Amino acid sequence: MDSLVFTDTTLGINLSNLTWISGVLPLAPAAKLVYFYPATLRKNLVNLAAVQANPVDNLGHDIPGLADPQDQDSAEVQAQTTSIDLLYITVKREADRVAFTWATLPSRDSTGFHLYRSTRDQRGTAVQLSGQLLTGLVLEKGEFGRVIVYTPSDTTVDSDTIYYYWLIEVKADGSTDEYGPLTVYPLWEYALFLPLVKR
């Protein structure tokens, strides 16, 4: 095949925008062409691309009676979330709650956090615990200087359940950054039995 045509209306690109990696035209049966296009995503993307080519023989001549093969495919790409610059975070499991403490440097574009929890290590199953945006307290912390400290607690826990938590930072423009999961294990009670020794 030759006369390859590639269109991607989602990204607004065609073959001239792609970088050739491998393969040659005319394309032999079962052979493949590999092209590359770098893209920076700021949000999730569902992308649709189409390709079409002209069938030719091994000398590059058109094969009469064969229509130009064409195909299209779609792909969903999840934009990677960036990590939050936490100065520190501590999680303390108690009998009736899970207590959190974390600190960040002051940032003009950060408006606060939401706390999410799940009983599975899957972000998609987590539910938001904080009804309102969590805001911190500005403190002086020695070597760190001025920091914002957050101290929420989850008081809706079962004592024998493993929980997974995510911190979601909300920016002034509505975008978010994510940190997690933080795995919190139950408080287990242990009994130590020593051997009975008689004389």
For the stretch 42-79, pLDDT in tens is 455 555 666 667 777 777 777 777 777 676 655 555 44
Q: Token pair for residue 6? A: 């590639």
| CA triple 31-34-36, angle to 5 deg | 175
Window from 42-46, 161-165, 194-198 with minimum mean pLDDT: 194-198
Confidence of residue 14 (pLDDT cuts 50, 70, 90): confident
Residues of the chain with CATH 2.60.40.10: 86-184
Q: What is 86-184's CATH number?
A: 2.60.40.10
Window from 16-20, 55-59, 85-89, 194-198 with minimum mean pLDDT: 194-198
In Å, how far are 111, 153, 170, 187, 194 from 190, measured between CA atoms? 43, 25, 41, 10, 13
Answer yes or no: is pLDDT of 104 > 50.
yes
Average pLDDT over residues 83-96: 78
Answer yes or no: is pLDDT of 180 > 70.
yes
